[in-house]
């Protein structure tokens, strides 16, 4: 399975809410290719969302809640940027 296949599988896991599985895939890619930017972004995004989810169970101070919300938004926009970059690359590879 290629890195791109694994990245696509991780994306499907995220869409299905299987964050642990997606995180595991990103880890495997980074073990082989630590410079894979898409895997690094994906790992950071999923890890941040998981931290936010786990911390949401606790009674946080309002400032901490806002900080966690900002981290989640940042992760969301980074993930969306990754998708846009991937789609742009796919489009540019197609014959016109």
What is this structure's pTM?
A: 0.57
What domain count does the chain have? 1
Average pLDDT over residues 70-96: 80
* Tens-digit pLDDT profile for residues 21-59: 998 999 999 888 888 999 989 998 888 888 777 665 555
CA-CA distance, 61 to 87, in Å (whole number)?
Answer: 39
CA-CA distance, 25 to 41, in Å (whole number)?
Answer: 13
Are the CB atoms for 44 and 75 separated by under 8 Å?
A: yes
Tokens of 94: 């197609």
Task: Read off the CATH number of the domain in which 47 is found.
Answer: 1.25.40
CA-CA distance, 59 to 93, in Å (whole number)?
Answer: 49
Considering the chain, what is the average pLDDT of its residues? 82
Instruction: Name the residue range of residue 86's domain.
Output: 3-93
50, 48, 28, 88: CA torsion to nearest 10:
120
């Amino acid at each position: 399975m290629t890195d791109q296949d694994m990245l696509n599988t991780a994306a499907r896991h995220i869409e299905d809410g299987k964050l642990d599985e997606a995180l595991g895939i990103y880890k495997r890619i980074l073990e082989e290719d630590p410079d894979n930017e898409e895997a690094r972004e994906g790992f950071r995004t999923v890890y941040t969302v998981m931290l936010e989810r786990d911390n949401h169970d606790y009674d946080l101070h309002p400032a901490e809640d806002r900080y966690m919300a900002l981290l989640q938004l940042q992760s969301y926009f980074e993930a969306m940027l990754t998708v846009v970059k991937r789609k742009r690359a796919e489009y540019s590879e197609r014959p016109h």
